[in-house]
Amino acid sequence: MHQMEIIKNNMKTIWAPWRIQYLTKEKEGGCIFCQKPKEKRDRKNLILYRGKTGFIIMNRYPYSNGHLMAVPYRHIKEVKNLDKEERLELMNITTKCVEILDVFKPDGFNIGMNLGKIAGAGIDDHIHFHIVPRWSGDTNFMPVIGDIKLIPEYLDQSYTKLLEKLKLKRGEK
C-alpha cells in the first residue's frame, strides 16, 4: 500500500462548524488594533482594559485559554518608536495580564512579541505583546498527531472571568 493511502486511511474527521464563520467572513481592511478600541464595544471586541497609552485585548483565535495581548493605541511597527510613557505602560499592562490570568491557575506563561511576518507576526505593522497562560501537560498528542488545538472554554466565559478579576483588582464591585 502507498504511504499516502495509509495516512489517508488513518485520518480522522473532527467537525468544527464554528470555524466556518472565520473562514468565510469578509476580511477586514485596516488595523484591528487601531479600529477595535475606537468602536467602544469592548465586550464584543474582547477588550478587557483601557489605559492611557495602551489596552488589553483577548486573542479571538487563542493559542490557549486566556491568551491576551497588550497593545499600544498608537500604530507603531517598531519597538524603538515607542516613547517612554508607552514603553512603561505596555510593560505595566503586560504585568496586569499575568496578574489577572491567575483566575485560570496557570503553571506558567509565554510572553513575547513577534516582530515581522518572518518571526510569526500575524499583524506585523502594529506591535503587541502576547501573554499566553500555560499548564503542566497542556501540550499533548492532539497538536502533534491530529494537528488540533483544544481550547477548554468559550471566549465569552473567559472574558467574564477576566473582567471580574480585573474589577476586583481595581477594587470595583
Asked if 126 contacts 64 with a C-beta cutoff of 8 angstroms, the reply is: no
Pairwise CA distance, residues 124 & 109, whole Å: 22
Q: Contact 96/49 with Cβ under 8 angstroms?
A: yes
State the cell numbers at 153: 472554554
Place of cell 489517508: 8
Enzyme catalytic residues: 128
Residue 74 C-alpha cell reads as 498608537
Q: At CA 136, angle to CA 132 and CA 137, rounded to 5? A: 105
